[in-house]
Structure 1
Amino acid sequence: MINVYEFLRYQPELYKQFVCKDLLFVYYDCPQVVRKVDVFTHYNILSFVIDGKKLINRPEKTWLLQPGSCYFFRIGAYNQELYLDEGWCSMNMYIPDKYLQQLIRQYNKHTKNKPLAEQPLEQVTELAVSELTRSLSQTILAHFSDDQPPAEAQLAQYFNDLFLSILDDPANQLVAAYLNTLAKCPDTSLYTVMETSFMYNLSLTEFAKFSNRSVTTFKREFKRIFNMPPAQWLLQKRLDYAEVLLTNTEKSVADIAAESGFVSNAHFSRTFSQKFGASPLHYRKRGAPLLIA
């Protein structure tokens, strides 16, 4: 899978960018060539869409990203899909959890509002954009046309002012509540990471990265939580998920294999047959429940 942060960060000759402490600012103007691609990010993303549209797909929901809008992406994996033949242009800011934890603590100290109770957040959340937020985003965007990047301290202040203006908007309370969750639970939930991302073809190194753990720590904690090695658990979860798709949708076997996290149809068919006693196609034909389109 593509790590969108690393894909952009290590190609500065192709994507205009500023680096400020742990933050990455990127001006992204490039049409997506492949219609659908699975990606993941171990950084949160604040994205201002300048032009074009794009679909973001998760098993539970699809989002259509629109020009002129702003979105917050949680750390995680998802599928991004071309919308018709439109190009794509956005200004993205990549932010680690630790930076947001510090920011929400700072915000809670100075705001008169009572800190909101912790709440979960969807993979993608559209944000309300006030005049102040839009003005601050335009100030940052203008610097991508300069010959020299702004000073690091200035960039940090721009971002802090921008994000605090987002939190000040009552319509963005869900994001503020989610950040309070981050502040009180600094360690990313390994259980949540795995249960929401097992269907993506991530390596153990990639799972470890976006759960903010070393590979060694990831494996040790995984075995403690799930009582089995990661590879065994992933295979079981993916096969069970594929079985649900086979019996409740009309998707092709190839699509189901890909959507369940299998790297090849052959591997999927072989392991599915070993567990369920029939190939995926025969399993579906021999008496699956009524299919749903």
Structure 2
Amino acid sequence: MEYQAKYITDDIKLSCYEDKLFKSEIMFDHHMLIWFLSGETKIVQADATYVFRKGDIFLIPRNQLATIINYPKDGQPHKTVVMHLSTARLRDFYAHLHVKPKAQAVQSIRRFDNHPLLESCLASLVPYFDMKNLPDNIASLKITEAISILRAIDPGIDDVLANFEMPGKIDLVSYMEKNFMFNMPLEKFGYLTGRSITTFKRDFKRAFGTTPQRWLTRKRLELAHYHLAQKQRRPVEVYFETGFENLSHFSYAFKKHFGYPPTALGAAHHKG
């Protein structure tokens, strides 16, 4: 068995990976509150890398690009309780509160490790995963409780949770230079830079003089080359984090671009 997800509701799930490793490129449509039961996760973003383990609690804000690599650890599967804080639910929560969130240029992952209030709230969900039917109002109460706790322990959380704005039109060049390693559909890149897919492609051609796909492949290969040559990492460690789906496609594209396989760089270092 590789992956199991048990849902209490659409917004609350128990996620379990027993395979060696699971990787995904994600842009979350909702904020996600995650509590680690076992295993390990590495989250790679453009400007930071995070590692989370058993007992950790963290919030990933929506519209974040990330490469997420999940591992089993110490003979235990990768197991988490995940709560989605959807825009619809947050709008309801904040409807009667007079909160004016400050606009934030960058919303980063927030850690709440070993916080007793949050931990007890999330731990109380675990028995419900074995029930056939859970009344909707109980799940709703649990999410409201989690939001209330977050507001009590993090003074800046309203700036994240009460911000319902869509991504605005931003500078395409700086955004793409920062986020090219995330293997996202072009539509998602368009959305995150405040453009339709047609406008995105047109603006991209004007800015970079080539198609998004050609440019993205070249940038990812150059980054991979840097990791292999300068950081002396192995191809199997690099292709995930530079936006390639699998090792064979990465090796083929690398050899086509540079004229030698990625393993040649590792071999040169190991000889020396």
TM > 0.5: yes
The 1:36–1:145 alpha-carbon spacing in structure 2 relative to 1, beyond 3 Å, is: closer
CA distance in 2, matches of 1:281, 1:15: 37
Which string of whole-angstrom CA distances, capped at 9 and with x for unpartnered residues, describes residues 95-146 of structure 1? 44x3476268548616xxx855625233x43126655444443444443343
Q: Does 1:160 align with 2:144?
A: yes
The 1:85–1:53 alpha-carbon spacing in structure 2 relative to 1, beyond 3 Å, is: same
Kept after mapping to 1: 8 A contact 2:204/2:212 = no
Kept after mapping to 1: 8 A contact 2:204/2:211 = no
Q: CA deviation at 1:251?
A: 1.5
CA distance in 1, matches of 2:168, 2:71: 27
Q: CA deviation at 1:61?
A: 1.8
Q: Does 1:217 align with 2:203?
A: no
Q: CA deviation at 1:250?
A: 0.7
Match of 2:33? 46
**Equivalent position to 2:77, from 87, 98, 107:** 87
Match of 2:129? 144
The 1:26–1:193 alpha-carbon spacing in structure 2 relative to 1, beyond 3 Å, is: farther
The 1:194–1:167 alpha-carbon spacing in structure 2 relative to 1, beyond 3 Å, is: farther
CA distance in 2, matches of 1:149, 1:103: 21
Kept after mapping to 1: 8 A contact 2:232/2:266 = no
* Aligned length, in residue pairs: 254
Q: Does 1:249 align with 2:228?
A: no
Kept after mapping to 2: 8 A contact 1:119/1:178 = no
Q: Sequence identity, in percent?
A: 13
Match of 2:241? 259
User: Segments of 4+ in structure 1 off by > 6 A?
Assistant: 281-286
Q: Provide the secondary structure at the position in 1 that maps to 2:133.
A: coil
Between Structure 1 and Structure 2, the one with more helix by share is 1
Which string of whole-angstrom CA distances, capped at 9 and with x for unpartnered residues, describes residues 261-286 of structure 1? 2333012210234xxxx765678999
Match of 1:102? 91
Counterpart AA for 2:32: I
Mapping of residues 141-290 of structure 1, within 5 Å: 141-151=126-136, 153-169=137-153, 172-179=154-161, 182-183=163-164, 185-187=165-167, 191=172, 194-195=176-177, 197-204=179-186, 207=188, 211=192, 217-224=196-203, 227=206, 228-253=210-235, 255-262=237-244, 263-273=249-259
CA distance in 2, matches of 1:212, 1:157: 35
Kept after mapping to 2: 8 A contact 1:18/1:149 = yes
Q: Provide the secondary structure at the position in 2 that maps to 1:264.
A: helix
Q: Provide the secondary structure at the position in 1 that maps to 2:196.
A: helix
Counterpart AA for 2:150: I
Which string of whole-angstrom CA distances, capped at 9 and with x for unpartnered residues, describes residues 3-62 of structure 1? xxxx98xxxxx532133xxx521123x34312353342533321122x313131416323
Under a length normalisation based on structure 1, what TM-score does the superposition of the two structures give? 0.66
Match of 2:54? 66
The 1:220–1:88 alpha-carbon spacing in structure 2 relative to 1, beyond 3 Å, is: same
